[in-house]
Chain A
Amino acid sequence: MLDKKQFITIKGTKEGLTLFVDDSCTFEHALNELREKIHASRPKHDEPVVSVKVKLGNRYVQEEQKEILRKIIAEDERFTIDSIVSDVVRRDEALQWQEASEVKTVNRIIRSGQMLEVTGDLLLIGDVNPGGKVVSTGNIYIMGRLNGIAHAGINGDKQAFITASYMKPSQLRIADYISRAPDYESDGVYMECGLIDEEQDKIVIDRLQVLSHKSEISGFGRRMQNG
């Protein structure tokens, strides 16, 4: 065979294989070559399964195309797929990410029976009254009294947290965690935050200072990394 250009380069690492798929050829081309390469380097049945990272460079692939890649690589179950990473995002995805990482500022009282829901972080300047509810996909910052329910990270972000000038919530919810106020009458706390304590596996209320020890990554960076 003539020395035709290689579109797929394979590198072995400690963790497994990294497949670099050149972004200058057609997807069909890449697939054909991938089939050959995978076939050639497939571990024998008595060898351990190898983990594969796929790097697509500046190639954008649809979800269905990713599915085809997965099928080819995982066929025969000799490879497992660790990740498929592309350096490009679609404009609408980027806008979604941006929306999800913006702080929405709202200036009003959330009264009994009312609910305020935002994408991204919420900065509420005003109280959440008993029976009122605020919900966000990110963090919730309340400059006012939280007497009702606050639900941060509603789409499952366990890193999300809730802060308030005065906290006496009936419930705090973060991702799918829920904590409620005790049954006895208790005083609220000033300038504190609610967050998930991973060791205790529950929501705790703590001084605001603990937030500075939390991961430095902003909501945006976090979402980039999680794809």
Chain B
Amino acid sequence: MGEAIVITSGKGGVGKTTTTANIGTGLALMDKKVCLIDTDIGLRNLDVVMGLENRIIYDIVDVIEERCKLKQALIKDKRFDYLSLLPAAQTSDKSAVTEEGMRKIVGELKQEYDYVIIDCPAGIEQGFKNAIAGADKAIVVTTPEKSSVRDADRIVGLLEQESIDPPLLVINRIRNHMMKNGDMIEIDDIVQILSIDLIGIVVDDDDVIKASNSGEPVALQPNSKASIAYRNIARRILGETVPLQSLEDEKGVFQKVKKFLGIRA
């Protein structure tokens, strides 16, 4: 029986889809069976980031409305045998998806896969409720920006009311020079406000954008900083103790990060 993890944030554009694609890829690289679900109905793009767009025949709404079997809607990844994607619908009515429908799909996928990673839409409306309905765990993504942290806090509050494990935190798009100048909220301030366990930090890296444009998740690259960061998150999900990367060889930043070395995954 696998585990379902929802990737959520409240705010849009902070990196949920990128995180979903790369954690999924990272887990697949470690020979796990992984299924990604895009629940952002009407604004699907996990398929684009994964480079699987033109293979879509059926989508999640087709499954829910029983126009096809779940298996038929799953798209097998180009690179890994046991990485699949259940794409969002692009045109259908959003209200087709329900919490009950999601629970059923996720439950069924967990029979087959080690990890089901659910990409959540922005906001706290029905789409959010659907995305978390079948999840066992949650990862909250934020950037080091006040508004993003505020929305993450709202989401953590909502998740705490659900029967779901305490969420884990990913801080994405950290920019070294801004951290150094004090123009961004610092990592330990973010962790202090949200008071949840940090499972990874990812720098802002042009390679992420390049990778997403070419449909090859950055986690496939051997050496880019973001790639290593995402693969480390995947390893922590598997229970390994992996220290946080130093963002650069800057003493100041490194010392801030060091406090979180004893991380729980």
Of all chain B residues, the one with the shortest Cβ separation from A126 is B195
Q: Nearest chain B CB to A29's CB is how many angstroms away?
A: 60
Q: Nearest chain B CB to A131's CB is how many angstroms away?
A: 5
Q: What is the predominant secondary structure among interface residues of chain A facing chain B? A: loop
Judged by a CB distance under 8 angstroms, whether B55 is at the interface is: no
User: Which residues of chain B come closer than 8 Å to A113, judged between CB atoms?
Assistant: 153-154, 157
B: interface residue count bin: 10 to 19
A: interface residue count bin: 10 to 19
User: Which residues of chain A come closer than 8 Å to B195, judged between CB atoms?
Assistant: 109, 127
- By the criterion CB–CB under 8 Å, are B157 and A114 in contact? yes
Judged by a CB distance under 8 angstroms, whether B156 is at the interface is: yes
User: Which residues of chain B come closer than 8 Å to A127, judged between CB atoms?
Assistant: 193, 195
Judged by a CB distance under 8 angstroms, whether A147 is at the interface is: yes
User: Which residues of chain B come closer than 8 Å to A70, judged between CB atoms?
Assistant: none
Judged by a CB distance under 8 angstroms, whether A130 is at the interface is: yes
User: Which residues of chain A come closer than 8 Å to B160, judged between CB atoms?
Assistant: 111
User: Which residues of chain A come closer than 8 Å to B151, judged between CB atoms?
Assistant: 112
User: Which residues of chain B come closer than 8 Å to A111, judged between CB atoms?
Assistant: 153-154, 156-157, 160
Interface residues of B (CB under 8 A from A): 146, 150-151, 153-154, 156-157, 160, 193, 195
Interface residues of A (CB under 8 A from B): 109, 111-114, 127, 129-132, 147
- Offer 26 A-B interface pairs, CB within 8 angstroms, sorted by A: A109-B157, A109-B195, A111-B153, A111-B154, A111-B156, A111-B157, A111-B160, A112-B150, A112-B153, A112-B154, A112-B157, A113-B153, A113-B154, A113-B157, A114-B157, A127-B193, A127-B195, A129-B193, A130-B146, A130-B153, A130-B193, A131-B150, A131-B153, A131-B154, A132-B153, A147-B193
